[in-house]
Amino acid sequence: MNTSMTCSFLIIVSIAVAVSGQQPPTGEALLEQNADRVIRLPGQPYVSFKQYAGYVTVNETHGRALFYWFFEAEESPEKKPLLLWLNGGPGCSSIGYGGMEELGPFVAQKDTFKLRLNNYAGNKAANLLFLESPVGVGFSYTNTSDDIQQLGDKITAQDSYAFMLKWFRRFPQYKSHEFYIAGESYAGHYIPQLADLILDKNKTISEENRINFKGIMIGNALLDDATDQTGMIDYAWDHAVISDRVYNGVKSKCNFNSSKSSDACDEALEEYFDVYKIIDMYSLYAPSCVNTTSNSTRRAHMHGKVSPRIFTKNKAWHVKPTGYDPCQTQYTDSYMNKPSVQASLHANTTKIPYRWSHCSDAITNWNDAPESMLPVIKKLVNAGIRVWVFSGDTDGRIPVTSTRLTLRKLGLNIVEDWSPWYTRNQVGGWTVAYDGLMYVTIRGAGHQVPTFKPKEALQLIRHFLSHQKLPTVPF
């Protein structure tokens, strides 16, 4: 394409974006976008929407850079909100789980280099952004090795906020869009703290840098140590996972309102965790992967001294989740480690001295993790931020029982009590509408709701973003 044709093309694009109400990218932002444009991945089926991937440096002095993967909405991206998706760990990849196995548009397959399309991808409802955070996760890196030992909730929120400010400068056409954050598991810490930081910063920074932040949605989320742990034990007993003897032993020997454990409690928990060596804690009724390899699906999911503190001593607590195909993580792992894939994604440009993995083995220390997110949740609710909480009801890790106890502890008035919602003519789950917060269960879903119930998950996302109640009658 010659220079005059290039200029004419850029003018046409700028006019089209301006008419849509977006701020068109120009100058350096346009150059950065073009550099991050992913033309086509190896084995990828044709799609009409654009995708981008690359690095945003969040700390120039230390050389900390976070890796992202962004998909424009399938239709009318100029009219759709922007949704940031975060997985937890801490130390696990939002791209590996959320992007490739839950609500991203592409899914790796067994014994083939070809990707298949996800018919219920999240970018049917929103412009979809996945972030590998903090540094040390996935392709995100730091040039200052000591940074890895300083990680915790606070620095993760600060770096994620710095990422969003710089990302909006690179993609100014999305600056005016409504911005939402969603995710699961330890993102029950990440998301409220990032939301809180955005809320506070928006009050003091210039209008040019304010984020049009509207809401959060968190699923099977770690929110409160005491109720999370109590609910795990109650759920296991109620779902015929543990015996009366084991249940009563844990109840009598463990005080989940305390951050301190005891030898008697540790011994009782060992018996509790024994059952999860033979069934999947993250989805009680799903099969386990028997095709184990050197990149087994049974690697660490949670790292360091993170909440809940009593449980962290037991190795079974650190097992990472698998999906509906329990070997799916192996297919993703194989695909993401191919040099041609990394080149297409503009990833691993600094030649990180370890394989990409779903969860980082480098993150072994976690310095700060509040015992409860409830004060932050209450602050967000009082500020008028849209807050939805959801639970896949076959998850034993952060089960529906834990979340119900946690929300009861929050003390919000119930506006509409336990009611069914529908996907077509089937019950999709139940809802409780609190004053300022919506709680949704998804029937038959494990820890990673979009993996187990993709149709229902997309329905949930659509209704959350449009601030509409889920259907209360069959349709």
Is 395 a known active-site residue?
A: yes
Phi, psi (deg, nearest 5) at residue 184? -150, 170
Measured distance CA(249)–CA(251) in Å, rounded: 5
Measured distance CA(107)–CA(104) in Å, rounded: 8
Helix (H, G, I), strand (E, B) or coil at 281: coil
Helix (H, G, I), strand (E, B) or coil at 65: strand
* Angle of the 400-410 helix axis to the 225-238 helix axis, nearest 10: 140
Query: How far is CA 444 from each of CA 233, 392, 457, 474, rounded to the nearest angstrom?
Result: 19, 7, 12, 18
Nearest residue to 66 via CA among 334, 347, 259: 347
CB-based contacts of 427: which residues, under 8 Å, 6+ apart?
Answer: 420, 421, 443
Measured distance CA(196)–CA(348) in Å, rounded: 31
Measured distance CA(3)–CA(417) in Å, rounded: 63
What six digits make up the tokens of 212? 């049009």
CA dihedral 288, 291, 295, 297 (to 10 degrees): -10
Measured distance CA(32)–CA(56) in Å, rounded: 10
Is 185 a known active-site residue?
A: yes
What six digits make up the tokens of 363? 């993150």
Name the strands in the sheet holding 51-59, side by side, starting at the edge strand that comes first in the sequence. 51-59, 64-71, 127-132, 82-86, 179-184, 213-219, 386-392, 437-442, 426-434, 414-423
Strands (E), 173-226: 179-184, 213-219
Nearest residue to 69 via CA among 116, 128, 140: 128
CB-based contacts of 32: which residues, under 8 Å, 6+ apart?
Answer: 170
* Angle of the 27-36 helix axis to the 153-170 helix axis, nearest 10: 110
Measured distance CA(348)–CA(355) in Å, rounded: 10
Which DSSP letter does residue 221 get?
-
Measured distance CA(167)–CA(55) in Å, rounded: 10
Of 159, 395, 402, 463, the catalytic one is: 395
What six digits make up the tokens of 435? 């004053």
Identity (one letter) of the amino acid at 128?
L
Of 177, 303, 358, 447, the catalytic one is: 447
Measured distance CA(56)–CA(39) in Å, rounded: 19
Of 93, 140, 185, 307, the catalytic one is: 185
**Which residues are annotated as catalytic?**
185, 395, 447
